Amino acid sequence: MRQAVIVILAGLTLVACGDDADGGETCPDGSVEGSTVNCDCSGGAVGVQTCSAAGTLGECECPSDAEGSGDAAASSAASGSSDAPASGSDGGTTQPAQGAGDTMDGGTTPTPPSDAAVPMTTPTAPAAPTDGNQNAACEADIDCNQGLGCYTNAGYCSAACSEDADCEGIAGASYTCSTSSGLCRVECSGTDDDASCPSGMVCSGTGGVFRCTYPVVGAGQNEACATTADCGEGLGCYGAGGGGGFGATGGGFCTLVCDDDAACAGLSGATYACSGNSNLCRVQCDSAGDGSDCPAGMVCSGSRCSLQ
């Protein structure tokens, strides 16, 4: 009788193990209990799956900090907000990020570009002059030539003034004198009024205050990012916010928005596929390999390629 009970219990144990094995993915070859592989989470985040003693992968554990970590960035990108103005009504302009749509880590997915296959390129914009003359890009007065100061609210060198008449001799746009900065600057009426700006500048601002500034261009394909707001148009941040399978140090990179694998076909340097969770092109890799299946400058991090 005692032997019969033991046999029955052993049989029940085997049935339970069999059910677990049927319900999960098989661990990669060479995996041991407790080893992990990366998996895709919503919003471009990367999670981990743990290999069990039965040789199956558990559920994808997504980083809790990835959800909502981009909300602030999404709000900032949508509203065009920036640091507080220096002083007066002429306090600073904002330069909106060139990401598509809201940030994807905790926000909505950007609209995919119209072309299905897009070559791997970095967004570019006309280079702002840096010679220190009128309208040259600057961060401080030291970047500007004698007689000019850095209009830091918009980031360019301009002539000193005490009244609008002092600015009338500057060609290329209608300059007026900023009483708070004592420098000539160009006002514009809205984001669709680039024509009022000097060559190479765009009309940017918030709260009804608009100034001409040089455009900001986001990071390109495979360049580092923390949120989608860091990326150029048509790109999102894969591995947004760090955490998860990419670790606290980051590893996230900008990559093409997609709705199927065909949208990733034009990317070079590796075999990209569309992640159904994040709607971003990413590269799966052999976690036991040497990373040669990843794009240049990346490593294989738990079956997903990431920046070093």
CB 144 within 8 A of CB 157: yes
Is 25 a domain residue?
no
The pLDDT value given to residue 125: 52
Residue 14 lies in a domain: no
Q: Highest mean pLDDT range out of 55-69, 94-108, 190-204, 244-258?
A: 190-204
Output the six-digit token pair for 179: 């009483």
- State which of 214, 236, 267 marks the end of a domain: 214
Query: Same domain, yes or no, for 42 and 166?
Result: no
Question: Does the pLDDT value for residue 102 go beyond 50?
Answer: no
User: pLDDT digits over 241-253, tens only?
Assistant: 554 455 444 688 8
Phi, psi of 38 (to 5 degrees): -85, 155
Distance CA 202, CA 212 (A): 5
Question: Most confidently modeled of 95-99, 130-134, 202-206, 248-252?
Answer: 130-134
24 falls in which pLDDT band (50, 70, 90)?
low
Q: Which of the listed ranges 16-25, 46-55, 210-219, 263-272 does the model predict with the highest average pLDDT?
A: 263-272
Q: Is residue 140 one of the residues assigned to a domain?
A: yes
Look at residue 252 and tell me if it is in a domain: yes
Q: Is 10 within the bounds of a domain?
A: no
Last residue of a domain, one of 214, 232, 258: 214
- Mean pLDDT, range 56-77, rounded to an integer: 55
Give me the pLDDT at residue 244, please: 47
13 domain residue, yes or no: no
Same domain (yes/no): 197, 280: no
Q: What is the domain count for the chain?
A: 2
Mean pLDDT of 183-200: 92
Same structural domain, 110 and 181? no
Tens-place pLDDT, residues 71-101: 333 333 333 333 333 334 444 333 333 333 3
Q: What is the mean pLDDT of residues 185-200?
A: 91
Torsion, Cα of 135, 139, 143, 148 (10° steps): 50
Examine the domain organization and report whether 204 and 232 are in the same domain: no
205/239 same-domain check:
no
**295 pLDDT more than 50:** yes
Pick the closest to residue 56 from 37, 70, 71 (CA basis).
37
- Are both 236 and 104 inside the same structural domain? yes
Q: Which of 214, 245, 276 is the last residue of a domain?
A: 214
Residue 300 vs residue 196, higher pLDDT: 196
% of the chain at pLDDT higher than 70: 67
Whether residue 280 is found in the same domain as residue 237: yes
Confidence of residue 16 (pLDDT cuts 50, 70, 90): very low
Domain range for 204 is 127-214
Q: Say whether both 115 and 227 belong to one domain.
A: yes
> Is the pLDDT at 176 greater than 90, yes or no?
yes
Asked if 144 and 197 sit in the same domain, the reply is yes
Contact 189, 202 (CB under 8 A): no
With 0.85 as the threshold, say if the pTM is over it.
no
Q: Are 176 and 162 in contact (CB under 8 A)?
A: no
Whether 226 and 200 share a structural domain: no
Higher pLDDT, 57 or 16: 57
Same domain membership, residue 50 and residue 175: no
Higher pLDDT, 235 or 177: 177
- Please indicate, yes or no, if residue 17 is contained in any of the structural domains: no
- What is the reported pLDDT for 7? 39
Confidence of residue 27 (pLDDT cuts 50, 70, 90): confident
- Is the model's pLDDT at 256 over the cut of 70? yes
Mean pLDDT for the chain overall: 72
- 272 with 148, same domain: the answer is no
pLDDT at 70: 38
For residue 293, tell me if it sits in a domain. yes
